[in-house]
Amino acid sequence: MVGSARLHRSLTRQMSILVTGGAGFIGANFVLDWLAGHDEPVINLDKLTYAGNLENLASLQGNAKHIFVRGDIGDAVLVDKLLTEHCPRAIINFAAESHVDRSIHGPGEFIQTNIVGTFHLLESVRAYWGTLEGQAKRRFRFLHVSTDEVYGSLTNDAPAFSETNRYEPNSPYSASKAASDHLVRAYYHTYGLPVLTTNCSNNYGPFQFPEKLIPLCILNALAGKPLPIYGDGLQVRDWLYVNDHCRAIGLVLEGGLVGETYNIGGKSEKTNLDVVRTLCDSLDELAPPATCHLPRTTYRSLITFVKDRPGHDRRYAINATKLERELGWRPQETFETGLRKTVAWYLENQSWVANVTSGAYRHWIDKHYSS
């Protein structure tokens, strides 16, 4: 009887996943989507730096299937303990420093988290995977979430990034993510660790920390502040609604080929200027300036060009044909429908916005986006 109970607990522990960085923007959206569609518990490890916010997961309070642990992926003792206790069948690694501007002004944290942290996590996972046997070992996966910025910059007429593009990172952030991608690849080829890597385009949607372009401009517009656009605003990005990204990650986790990389893009190439103009048009409709007591007829009049940032890549574009062909994924949102949902979410969640925009955050914005 005791043996049967121990076996039952062991099997139960194996049917879980460990998510790192699961209180951040993309990670939190993934956790919420996962638990909405699966009975499988999530162990959520997050360091809770400035962009990690437990309020993103407030709807999961009291949910026994969500086990939150505050900690660093580089803390081998903690990670080893979680792996031993919960025996996850998969790990999805979102944990990363991710803002290019911050990497320019303080690259050390990016090196520590994105490279050193990923190395320590891989070492812990490799040791854990080595203890698994049979079906548990065969089905285990380590999914590493990365970015299209590792590929560098494209000219306007160049084909979109495919999985075979060589890496040419141009910022401390993208260089640190490229290094982490290489480590993940090396652990597959050297040790046989069953890894998967995804490289996504620019994400947007609910819970994004307002240092990124879209939430920053939403908040500034509502406050009647300038909408800062670097340089001429003609840098091109491929925009991906976060829930489409999360759905793609789930498909790669379940059906991706071990050792492979999958690009995830929204099929929505836009210049930064067009993004902000479209955002202003949505705000004009959903929250007209007059209702915010602003002496103007359109938010477009707030657009302000500021000095370009160093090493600013001109264009990113993702070719997601491999993901579409092999796993049947397509983005469900166009840029226009996804942006409208995003604007509506920020308008409807002013308490979240107020809590996240602390005095330290305002100091950061003043420092890095002043004209």
- Tokens 């640190």, located at residue: 176
Give residues with Cβ within 8 angstroms of 18, minimum separation 6.
Answer: 42, 43, 45, 82, 83, 86, 88, 90, 91, 92
Catalytic-role residue among 97, 148, 211, 269:
148
- Tokens 């809770």, located at residue: 48
**DSSP alpha helices (H): ranges in 15-62?**
25-37
To the query of whether residue 148 is one of the catalytic residues in this protein, the response is yes
DSSP state of 262: E
Residues in the chain: 371
Catalytic-role residue among 149, 181, 211, 269:
149
β-strands 227-230, 303-306 pairing: parallel
Helix/strand/coil for 206: coil
Radius of gyration of the chain (CA): 21
Q: Within a 10 A sphere around the Cβ of 153, how many other Cβ atoms?
A: 18
**How far is the C-alpha of 138 from the C-alpha of 89, rounded, in Å?**
10
- Among residues 63, 340, 57, 104, which one has the least CA distance to residue 214? 340
Catalytic-role residue among 151, 173, 204, 241:
173
DSSP state of 31: H
**How far is the C-alpha of 343 from the C-alpha of 45, rounded, in Å?**
29
To the query of whether residue 173 is one of the catalytic residues in this protein, the response is yes
Burial 85-97, CB ≥16 within 10 A → b, else e? ebbbbbbbbbbbb
**How far is the C-alpha of 243 from the C-alpha of 352, rounded, in Å?**
19
Catalytic residue numbers, as ranges: 148-149, 173
